Chain A
């Protein structure tokens, strides 16, 4: 029989405000979106009756939605994957002892500390074919003889948007890696060196296994964060041209506030919610498992 200690009850009581807050701020909106996804909503926003999952049927029949899903997958995998690799490399470099290390660490934080809208706007101006600084610099140093269009196709636009996503995500991974590196006991490396282990041997047998926990946290959080990211794509292309650069977050906004199809937008939100739930569950399971391992 499980005995509930008096302290346990007080712990639950302390949790009540948080639970209440989460209910109001999370559960109620989620419930509302689920409800909206199953009813007809007029263009002016009046909620009408249940419409037999018509919103979901509209969404799945739309070529733009299928393109959006594919884009979201490319966006999430490329941004999280590449920024994780770059973050590890930069983290390893910044962990070395060299003059100016503190300044370098501060510089790496800049993209993370600046607003995403500002960063996206700056990149939009950098890439502009008419007045972008990339063209101006390359022209002045003689690399190009005339201004180039760096975004001639929708795919090129999207690739640049992924690059901006990577640029702003790398600092977070870098600092997760750095914090992990600093907790690794130096004696492991000293023993490995005595045994004549190479740099890569040490990297793959000591560093990366011991960074696993940090990388798990940063990867799962980044998947959730990047999947939901709105400002970069909205600021640079708004999903244009012809819905070719949308991800789920911008597509929902476009449906709801430009096309005034709130029911369809809610249906896409529900689909996105389900996809993210899978990742969130995976994250929670990993967290619980690692806690259990620690307890053992």
Chain B
């Protein structure tokens, strides 16, 4: 009797495992890698995953949050071992297109989602007539200034030109030598952003209107020379080569840095100081250009039994993510700007219905309406171009070489242009 009972139990366990296995195998598994944008990214996505799986019991969504520090390592390793995710959230896509790793968006994006993504963000993912990725979120950079410091230093007007920047910095330095007048980050982390701020606002930039690289233009040389002037005059932190944006944001929030070309989420970080937001200062009578940053979601090719079923599941994922309320909730949670029309309208009107990450309070409609207006007139990095990563690293090196006086700005940029346009 005991023996029979044992056999029965073993069979029961085996059967239950088998039954579970067969039920699981019917599900379509989607592996998604999401970049960690802040301390609370990992709080929002598991809730999305749970809700999505409840609404789509035939899909097993596996979301992995990876920090930006490890993202390229993780993705590179996965690709080299043929274990790429189904969906990846990262900044650029052209390298993956070059290796024929991506699925074009037309294969999985519904018309409803396509129609609500702002045209500028949609076409920013176009490479040779095919759209390869979807924008996940955006961020705008502008001039943040500490009103109290400017007033105390006798700066009556927020600087609009480079000359006014130098004048304001001199006054702030004379007022209190411990306050850093101007922020500059030309570190390996994000030195390309500084290049964008100053070259775009001097009438230069990475490319001309036709998309040809113009890295060594006169305007770009002047942009780097202006950065060197700021450093040599002692208006920036002593070591902008190693001091990244993040400690400078903290310094701005602590009131020890007067002016900063910073991202929109500085709005929340610096809530303890009396600050204002203005357009980036320009030179030579050029129109002010603010900077926009946009990250992406893309779908990788994979060897699966039924590609149509996988693409249908991916389509459902994007429909659920870009849902008006869900997407708006995520934007408030992370503090970034939306790229879809319906969520944008909702947030500009009533962001207060959503919670910020880390129980930091409710959303702020004014923040969204202010920055969405700035976002409309922003320039973006030319990330769709295959040479972008080399250009990005190259301009950082050129800035650093010129600013430490190793070579002139012109020589550094001439060498870079020659390296990129072979």
Binding site for B on A (CB under 8 A): 41-47, 128-131, 146-147, 149, 151-154, 157, 236-244, 254, 256-260, 262
Q: Cβ of B238 and Cβ of A262 under 8 Å apart?
A: no
Most buried by B among A44, A149, A254, A258: A44
| CA gap between A153 and B95 in the complex, in Å | 35
Contacts of B178 in A (CB 8 A): 130, 147
User: Given A43, A47, A131, which contacts B256 in the complex, CB threshold below 8 Å?
Assistant: A131
Q: Cβ of B72 and Cβ of A130 under 8 Å apart?
A: no
Contacts of A130 in B (CB 8 A): 178, 180, 237-238, 251, 256
Shortest Cβ gap from A39 to chain B (Å)? 11
| CA gap between A236 and B95 in the complex, in Å | 30
Q: Which of B195-203, B349-357, B396-404 contacts A (4 or more CB under 8 A)?
A: B396-404
Binding site for A on B (CB under 8 A): 72-73, 75-77, 79-80, 95-96, 98-99, 101, 177-178, 180, 187-189, 237-239, 241-242, 251, 256, 389-390, 393, 397, 400-401, 403-404, 406
User: Given B98, B188, B403, which contacts A238 in the complex, CB threshold below 8 Å?
Assistant: B188
Q: Cβ of B256 and Cβ of A44 under 8 Å apart?
A: no
| CA gap between A178 and B242 in the complex, in Å | 39
Q: Cβ of A43 and Cβ of B389 under 8 Å apart?
A: yes
Closest to B93 in A: A44
Shortest Cβ gap from B194 to chain A (Å)? 13
Q: Cβ of B393 and Cβ of A242 under 8 Å apart?
A: no
Q: Cβ of A46 and Cβ of B389 under 8 Å apart?
A: no
Q: Cβ of A42 and Cβ of B241 under 8 Å apart?
A: no
Closest to B398 in A: A242
Shortest Cβ gap from A250 to chain B (Å)? 10
Shortest Cβ gap from A93 to chain B (Å)? 36
Given the interface contacts A43-B95, A46-B99, A131-B256, does A241 sit within 8 Å of B238 by beta carbon?
Answer: no
Contacts of B187 in A (CB 8 A): 238, 240
| CA gap between A41 and B178 in the complex, in Å | 48
Contacts of B80 in A (CB 8 A): 41, 45-47
| CA gap between A186 and B241 in the complex, in Å | 55
Contacts of A44 in B (CB 8 A): 75-76, 79, 95-96, 98-99, 101
Shortest Cβ gap from A36 to chain B (Å)? 9
Closest to A46 in B: B99
Closest to B238 in A: A129
24 CB contacts below 8 A, A to B, read A41-B80, A42-B98, A44-B79, A44-B101, A45-B76, A45-B77, A45-B80, A129-B237, A129-B239, A130-B237, A131-B251, A151-B239, A157-B239, A237-B241, A238-B187, A240-B188, A240-B400, A241-B401, A242-B241, A242-B401, A254-B188, A259-B389, A259-B393, A260-B72
User: Given A46, A128, A147, A241, which contacts B400 in the complex, CB threshold below 8 Å?
Assistant: A241
3 pairs of A and B residues whose beta carbons are closest in the complex: A129-B238, A241-B241, A45-B76
Shortest Cβ gap from A196 to chain B (Å)? 56
User: Given B95, B188, B406, which contacts A42 in the complex, CB threshold below 8 Å?
Assistant: B95
Shortest Cβ gap from B77 to chain A (Å)? 7
Shortest Cβ gap from B239 to chain A (Å)? 6
| CA gap between A43 and B178 in the complex, in Å | 43
| CA gap between A46 and B98 in the complex, in Å | 10
Contacts of B239 in A (CB 8 A): 129, 149, 151, 157
Closest to B394 in A: A259
Q: Cβ of A42 and Cβ of B99 under 8 Å apart?
A: yes
| CA gap between A21 and B76 in the complex, in Å | 25
Q: Cβ of B242 and Cβ of A46 under 8 Å apart?
A: no
Q: Cβ of B76 and Cβ of A153 under 8 Å apart?
A: no
| CA gap between A259 and B96 in the complex, in Å | 15
Contacts of B403 in A (CB 8 A): 241
| CA gap between A131 and B72 in the complex, in Å | 32
| CA gap between A152 and B238 in the complex, in Å | 8
| CA gap between A153 and B239 in the complex, in Å | 9
Q: Cβ of A149 and Cβ of B238 under 8 Å apart?
A: yes
Shortest Cβ gap from A211 to chain B (Å)? 39
Contacts of B96 in A (CB 8 A): 44
Shortest Cβ gap from A220 to chain B (Å)? 31
Contacts of B72 in A (CB 8 A): 257, 260
User: Given A41, A152, A236, A243, which contacts B242 in the complex, CB threshold below 8 Å?
Assistant: A236
Most buried by A among B101, B242, B400, B403: B242
Shortest Cβ gap from B75 to chain A (Å)? 7
Contacts of B75 in A (CB 8 A): 44-45
Q: Cβ of B397 and Cβ of A45 under 8 Å apart?
A: no
Q: Cβ of A46 and Cβ of B188 under 8 Å apart?
A: no
Closest to B97 in A: A44
Contacts of B393 in A (CB 8 A): 258-259
| CA gap between A39 and B98 in the complex, in Å | 17
Shortest Cβ gap from B284 to chain A (Å)? 28
Closest to A151 in B: B239
Shortest Cβ gap from A155 to chain B (Å)? 10
| CA gap between A42 and B386 in the complex, in Å | 11
| CA gap between A75 and B164 in the complex, in Å | 44
Q: Cβ of A46 and Cβ of B256 under 8 Å apart?
A: no
User: Given B77, B188, B238, B404, which contacts A239 in the complex, CB threshold below 8 Å?
Assistant: B188
Closest to B405 in A: A153
| CA gap between A73 and B128 in the complex, in Å | 48
Contacts of B73 in A (CB 8 A): 256-257
Contacts of B180 in A (CB 8 A): 130
* Extra A-B contacts (16), CB below 8 Å, given A130-B238, A130-B251, A238-B188: A43-B389, A44-B99, A45-B76, A45-B77, A129-B237, A130-B256, A152-B238, A237-B241, A239-B188, A240-B241, A241-B404, A242-B401, A254-B188, A258-B188, A259-B393, A260-B95
| CA gap between A128 and B72 in the complex, in Å | 30
Shortest Cβ gap from A88 to chain B (Å)? 34
Closest to A241 in B: B241
| CA gap between A130 and B178 in the complex, in Å | 7
Contacts of A128 in B (CB 8 A): 238
Shortest Cβ gap from B146 to chain A (Å)? 15
Contacts of A152 in B (CB 8 A): 238
Contacts of A45 in B (CB 8 A): 75-77, 79-80
| CA gap between A149 and B95 in the complex, in Å | 40
Closest to B191 in A: A240
User: Given B101, B251, B404, which contacts A46 in the complex, CB threshold below 8 Å?
Assistant: B101
Contacts of A42 in B (CB 8 A): 95, 98-99
Closest to A149 in B: B238
Contacts of B397 in A (CB 8 A): 242-243
| CA gap between A111 and B239 in the complex, in Å | 26
Closest to B101 in A: A44
